[in-house]
A and B are shown apart, each in its own frame.
Chain A
């Protein structure tokens, strides 16, 4: 196994007042930690324990909201510990999920306009662009190489939240190949809807317009949060992404972006997507080889 990822040790349990249990699986981000979190969350949700209000898997930790009038805290903790204990004995973990192609207009005019309003005092390099800065801090030749690195390997939705429907994304590559970019020095008060952003080792897509501190590289062409549920991809739920989804960004130019806008207006747009089984051991053993296999699944769509 070439990945330097640390083994996932025993989780830390702590209370968020009388309605929340917080389970920190690991202090550091890793694919293995995220996988453990998702596995615990899935098993806990499947139990449909009375008194469980929300099960919120995050990058390397899990937040559970419960009603202590129905479910005593000690019972909840024992239950989650038992699930964690069972999982520790099962190394071969697989996740039934999907791979989704997300068209992105990189280096677009919308994020450019906003970033120009937040340079001095906000950004590390007020004279440059976010992409140029990201390329530089990752020791890449130029913006084009950064964009290439950003979309050529897929990402895992490691958490959904902050605001409604916002996916946090963790790139499925070895740690030393992960793109890392500091957040803005001070958060912006504005970020265009659907901005493809990056902070630390995490990518994201801003689901709504608003404040944000992540670097901005482009805009996703299609909605990811649709309260009106007009498009087919939102028929079941107003939020598109779920933790565990695999995202392949596809660069599009202005013409392709505008064509997608027309499809959205006509109500005909659908994301290209296909169900896949994601196996942790394969992803850790040969990330890029396994990614190739996952991405080929999209070819049939």
Chain B
């Protein structure tokens, strides 16, 4: 079967868990920005966590199906419509051949996911179906969807067995709030900040700007100060410059000391701006849910605390899948 794209929406792409192993040549991991939400969509339609989904950004697509299909829409709150009729999110929905799926206005967050039984079946590139638009690889012909695209869907996974429950219980749905506390591990080049600069980073209020996409999110706020120094050979003249280095996914760079940029799943893999810390892996999905204007505080945690948070998120995910009666 296949989805026919009548209207592509703002930026709808095929994503899965992403491709690792090629960051050393500048190919980022890509994959669904909000992994937790995308995976639960897969769980609802009887997929494994690995199947590819459609990631919708703010304005969703208008899609018809050429055969019956089971879908679920998870992630940011939005009105889901089948043939114009309002339907629930976080629940399994039946599409009949010829049905039209469309969306209302997003009510928080940035991205929602359309999971379909069998998964979106585009060819794997370097082990993943995720779209990396800048490199024009993966996904549907290496790009976001366009009107007229005919997006193939795979055969049902696991002989079509479905989980017992058809709805994700409220307690397992993420919150899309106007305020966020984002946990970071200080490090990398944080020693180059002045005491005042570090204080601003950790105690200031930062707001997500509209300059936020799959590559990263830019924040406005009080700014930071860098220690003056004679710049090392090859580093560039600004005190926020370093000799071009690898960028950790989730790392926070502050070019010129003004607006922090946090790199996300389509990160540039390296460059010449000093990073002062890194968002912990457990909070990367949280960033993906931050709409422009979201008030953000950065909370420093230790590496050990980051590992505890990582284990807690893995546990929550296991419990969510178990609550559906799905095999994770």
Residues of A within 8 A of B (CB): 14-20, 22, 24, 26-30, 41, 53-63, 65, 68-69, 73, 159-166, 168, 175, 182-183, 199-202, 207-208, 210, 225, 227, 238-239, 241-243
Contact = CB atoms under 8 A, between A and B. Distances in A.
Given A160-B25, A227-B135, A200 B248 contact: no
A18 B307 contact: yes
B252 to A, nearest CB: 10
Interface of B: 20-27, 125, 132, 134-137, 142, 184-185, 187-188, 232-237, 242-251, 268-272, 275, 278-281, 303, 306-307, 310, 314
A162 B275 CA distance: 15
A159 B271 CA distance: 10
A164 B248 contact: no
Contacts of B142: 227
A86 B314 CA distance: 37
Contacts of B245: 22, 24, 58-61, 63
26 contacts: A14-B188, A16-B248, A17-B280, A17-B281, A17-B306, A19-B248, A19-B281, A27-B243, A28-B234, A29-B235, A41-B24, A54-B24, A57-B24, A61-B243, A61-B246, A63-B248, A159-B244, A161-B25, A162-B268, A162-B270, A164-B135, A165-B26, A182-B237, A202-B244, A239-B25, A241-B25
Contacts of B269: 56, 161-163
A18 B233 contact: no
Contact of B233 (A19, A29, A199): A29
A164 B125 CA distance: 14
Contact of A55 (B24, B188, B233, B314): B24
Nearest to A20: B248
Contacts of B271: 162
Interface centre among A18, A165, A166, by most chain B C-beta atoms within 10 angstroms, is: A18
Given A59-B234, A60-B245, A62-B246, A18 B26 contact: no
B185 A60 contact: no
Given A15-B187, A17-B280, A29 B243 contact: yes
Nearest first, the 7 closest Cβ-Cβ pairs linking A and B are A16-B248, A63-B246, A29-B234, A17-B278, A164-B135, A161-B269, A20-B248
A59 B21 contact: no
A179 B278 CA distance: 34
A199 B238 CA distance: 13
A100 to B, nearest CB: 15
Given A17-B250, A19-B249, A164-B27, A202 B234 contact: yes
Contact of B26 (A15, A160, A175, A183): A160
B24 A161 contact: yes
Contacts of A30: 233
Contacts of B306: 17-18
